[in-house]
Amino acid sequence: MGAVFNKEKLLELLQDFHRLTGLRAVAFDAYGMEILSCPPELPAYCRLVRAVPDGATGCHLCDQNACRCATRRKETVIYACHAGLIEVITPILIDGAAVGFLLLSHIVQGADEDAEWARAKECCAPYGIDEAALQAAYNALPRTPYLTLKSASDLLALAASGLYQQGLTRMTPGSAEAQLNRYLADHLAEELTSEKICRALSLSRTGLYYLSRRTYGCGINEQITRLRVQKAMELLASTRLSNAEICRRTGFPDYNYFYRVFRRQTGLTPRRYRISIVADRPAEE
C-alpha cells in the first residue's frame, strides 16, 4: 500500500524549510505523485511554462524522471529541469527502499546570471512564451548557492524520514488504521463504497471519516482513487497489459473515467506514462 505520511507534520516541515530557504518545498509519494507543497502555488515562471500543454507535460515528465533517478541512486540528486532551472530531489529511504521524495524546486543559483538566463531561455524557446514576461518571472525567482541548497536538501531528507517513522506507529498490526489499510489493498479492484467499508470494519460513517482523515490526511474516496492510480502506474510500468485491462484490475468503472482521473493526478496520459518509463529505463534492463 506504500507509505502513510503524517500530512499535518509533513506540512509543518515544508513550511519551516520554505521560511528558512525561500524555496518551494514539495513532497511526493513513492509513485512521484505530489502529496503536499509549500507554498502551494507555483511561481510565475512555472505557471507560464505550464500554461503551454507541451510545457506542462514536460514538467510532469521531469518530476517522474527525477523520482526514478533518485530511486536508483538512493541519494540526493541535483539536476537541471526541462525549463532550465535547478532542482534537488531527495529520496525518503526506509530499509533502503524509497517510500517518497522531497523536492526543492524552481531554483536559480545566480553564480553566472547571464549564462543561467541564456540556458533557461533556450530550454523554454519551444514553448513560444513571451520573452519579456518569462524573463521578468525568472528574475523574481530566489537565488540559492549550491552549497546552501545541498545542505538544506540533506536536512530535509533526515527530518522527513523521522516523520515517516513516527507515522509507522499508527500502523501496528490489528490497529484500526492497519485494518483499513489492508482492506483497501485486498479489495481495490472491487466496487468500494463507504457503506461497504463500514460494514466490513464495523464502523459508522462518521467513524470511517475520522479514521481516513487520521490515517491518510484525506477522505476515503480520495484515498481510494489515489491508490487505484498508484496501482495503475505499477501495472503500466511492469506489465504489457492493455489500458482497458489495467482499468478493470484497478477498480475504475469505465475506461474514459480511468483516463481522466489518471491524467488529472499524474499530469500524463496512461500511454505517455508508459512510454516515459520505457524511455527512462537503464539499458541493461
pLDDT band at 284 (very low <50, low <70, confident <90, very high): very low
Instruction: Tell me what pLDDT residue 283 has.
Output: 47
Residue 201 shares a structural domain with residue 156: no
User: Does residue 24 surpass a pLDDT of 60?
Assistant: yes
Identity of the residue numbered 122: E
Closest CA relative to residue 272, chosen from 230, 231, 238, 236: 236
Confidence of residue 161 (pLDDT cuts 50, 70, 90): low
Task: Render 65-120 in DSSP notation, one character per residue.
Answer: HHHHHHHHHTS-EEEE-TTS-EEEEEEEEETTEEEEEEEEEEEB--SSHHHHHHHH
Q: With pLDDT > 90 as the criterion, what percentage of the chain qualifies?
A: 62
Residue 89 φ/ψ, nearest 5 degrees: -120, 135
- Res 52 pLDDT > 90: yes
Same domain for 60 and 190: no
Listed in sequence order, the DSSP H helices in the chain are 7-21, 44-50, 53-73, 113-124, 131-139, 146-168, 176-186, 194-201, 205-216, 220-238, 243-249, 255-266, 270-280
Among 104, 136, 168, where does a domain finish?
168
Q: Identify the sign of the CA torsion 241, 249, 233, 258.
A: positive
pLDDT at residue 285 in the model: 41
User: Where is the domain boundary, 168, 191, 208?
Assistant: 168
Torsion angles phi and psi, residue 194, rounded to 5: -60, -40
**Same structural domain, 164 and 177:** no
Q: Is 2 part of a structural domain of the chain?
A: no
Question: What local confidence, expressed as pLDDT, does residue 135 receive?
Answer: 97
Same domain as 87, residue 204: no
The answer to whether residues 154 and 216 belong to one domain is no
Residue 78 is assigned to a structural domain of this protein: yes
Predicted local confidence at residue 160, as pLDDT: 63
Residue 76: inside a domain: yes
Region 154-170: mean pLDDT is 64
Of the candidates 133, 168, 203, which is a domain's last residue? 168
Task: Please tell me whether residues 127 and 187 are part of one structural domain.
Answer: no
Q: Give how many domains the chain has, as a whole number.
A: 2
- Mean pLDDT for the chain? 88
Residue 148 has a pLDDT of: 82
- What pLDDT digit, counting tens, does each position of 121-155 carry? 999 999 999 999 999 999 999 898 888 877 877 77
- Co-location of 155 and 217 in the same domain: no
Instruction: Identify whether 285 is part of a domain.
Output: no
At 163, the pLDDT band (50, 70, 90 cuts) reads low
pLDDT of amino acid 22 = 86
Q: In whole angstroms, what is the distance from residue 56 CA to residue 58 CA?
A: 5
Phi/psi-derived region of residue 242, left when phi > 0, alpha when psi is between -120 and 50, beta in every other case: beta
* Same domain, residue pair 65 and 181: no
CATH number of the domain where residue 271 is located: 1.10.10.60
For residue 76, the model assigns a pLDDT of 86
Domain that holds residue 240: 172-280
Instruction: Please report, for the domain that includes residue 162, its CATH number.
Output: 3.30.450
Q: What percent of the chain has pLDDT above 70?
A: 91
Vertex 282, ends 281 and 285: CA angle to 5°? 85
Q: pLDDT digits over 217-258, tens only?
A: 889 999 999 999 999 999 999 999 999 999 999 999 899 999
- Name the band, by pLDDT with cuts 50, 70 and 90, for residue 278: confident
- For residues 76 and 39, membership in a common domain is answered with yes
The reply to whether 200 and 160 lie within a common domain is no
150 and 17 share a domain? Answer: yes
Residue 227 maps to a domain: yes
| Model pLDDT, residue 152 | 77
In a domain, 52, yes or no: yes
Are 68 and 135 contained in the same domain?
A: yes
Mean pLDDT of 66-88: 92
